[in-house]
Amino acid sequence: MTNDTGGSLTFPDGFSWGAATAAFQIEGATAEDGRADSIWDVFCREPGRVLDGDTGDVACDHYHRMPEDVALLADLGLDTYRFSTAWPRIRPDGGAVNPKGLDFYSRLVDELLGKGIKPWLTLYHWDLPQALQEQGGWTNRDTAYRFADYAQTVHEALGDRVPTWTTLNEPWCSSLLSYGQGAHAPGLTDPTAAVAAMHHLLLGHGLAVQVLRDGGVGGEAGSVGITLNLSPVEPADPSSDADREVARRVDGLQNRVFLDPVLRGHYPEDVWSDLTPYGLPDVVQDGDLDTIAGPIDVLGVNYYYTLTMRADDEPHGPTTWIGAETAVDVPEGLPTTEMGWEIEPSGLHAVLVRLLREYPGTPLVITENGAAFVDKVADDGVVHDEDRRSFLEGHLRACHQAIADGVDLRGYLAWSLLDNFEWALGYSKRFGIVHVDYDTQQRTVKDSARWYAQVVRDNGF
Ligand code: FCB
């Protein structure tokens, strides 16, 4: 991996620096201006689903504090802001358009542009309208077409001002984790449903790319892509056939089952046969893979951890590792974040170099990377989060090394601008470079954000 263990580093001219958020995690105002329930609103109300019964009802109250939050981005000198639009604000029951929902994002985009910040819009960060879930959600092929309709609505309203579009955020989470393991909304534990959801999400991606292309996105007129959460996957014991087999299957489910259809136009042969007992051939129709493989301009990479897989004697379930139910991720003994995720910047380097070798030709941007730690506002009014600063530095060194190794990496967006609703873990995990006091909604810029702002000013460190 990286030889960059110290010394100063400069990033390429034009490298983008920013931060990311997602609608449900920050907005609150879940019942305002015509927004209807998403699957996450319903999931939050189900006892035992979300830690401490936390909900998205208020979150960071960003819906009411948007200009203040955009001012924070500007004060930090960030040039790019990745946010998501809430489908249940814009087409609340999946059908008719709600102009008030669009207005909010139109104001956000104008506020960003007014401060010289480039909007980077993600269409789907997991908040499916509940009305569509009631018709099967992503197990229903029709949802992919409803997604394309919604993409068209958003593009018609904002396409003149938004340069970068992401169709889906982390379809691994919104299919395998949500319909297979049941840890995320809608909380199903049905492997066949998870496989159907996965394919229909990919189909929705392809259809939305077509809609955006038809709307003129491309070349000078903006770019479109998808964001995947990718992890290196290694066998715990490389000499064990069983460990190598689960590692192959897990790599298939975590990485290749998404990368290959989008970038190569087919499912990987081994994964296709792994998932045949779970109905993959039954949901793939003629022409789907051509649709899914429509060219993209940028691949968004989210990186949080690497996976080191051991085959256990017993199957575990419910799990995301469909067809590899004995797979367990074993710790490597590294320091961890508050999520329990091991801190391993070399894994980010490995992901980027793998993309260069195996999937060359698509520009890359880190669309999320960051860490949760226990943060406290100290008596001096500051959050001294050296652990997060050092996490960011380590991962930026890995990015820099990847660029030196030939990777076409165009930008880095920290997760997250604000502490926020961390899905099934509620407000217990703080990922922000800006601290949020959930009682007062006061924002406090953490030390890590000050350091990051200096990196942005210097285009390096
Ligand atoms: C990613 C999600 C993001 C956030 C981070 C910590 O999987 O895309 O919303 O929860 O993890």
Instruction: Give the integer Cα–Cα distance in Å for 303 and 398.
Output: 11
368 is catalytic: yes
User: How many angstroms separate the Cα of 197 from the Cα of each of 135, 192, 266, 353?
Assistant: 13, 9, 17, 29
Tell whether ligand 1 has an atom less than 6 A from the beta carbon of residue 415: yes
Residue 25 in contact with residue 59, Cβ under 8 Å?
yes
Among the listed residues 170, 234, 344, 422, the single catalytic one is 170
What per-residue confidence (pLDDT) applies to 374?
97
Which atom of ligand 1 is the closest one to the Cα of 431?
Answer: 6
By most ligand atoms within 8 Å of CB, the mutation choice from 83, 423, 425, 427 for ligand 1 is: 423
Q: Is 344 a catalytic residue?
A: no
Pocket lining: 419 vs ligand 1, CB cutoff 6 Å: no
Name the active-site residue from 27, 111, 342, 368.
368
Structure confidence at residue 5 (pLDDT): 54
Cis peptide before 318 (omega within 30 of 0): yes
What are the backbone angles phi and psi of residue 248, rounded to the nearest 5°? Answer: -60, -45
The first and second tokens of residue 73, run together, are: 């981005």
- In sequence order, what are the beta bridge partners of 162? none
Question: pLDDT for 346-374, tens place per residue?
Answer: 999 999 999 999 999 999 999 999 999 99
Tell which atom from ligand 1 comes closest to the C-alpha of 339.
Answer: 6
pLDDT at 1: 45
Give the Å distances, CA to CA, from 273 to 173, 243, 264, 276: 22, 19, 17, 5
Q: How far is the CA of 408 from the centre of ligand 1 (A)?
A: 23
Query: Which pTM was predicted?
Result: 0.98
Helix then strand count (H, E) for the chain reads 17, 13
Weakly modelled stretches of the chain, pLDDT under 50:
1-3
Q: Is 20 in the pocket of ligand 1 (CB under 6 A)?
A: no
Residues 386-415: tens digit of each pLDDT: 999 999 999 999 999 999 999 999 999 999
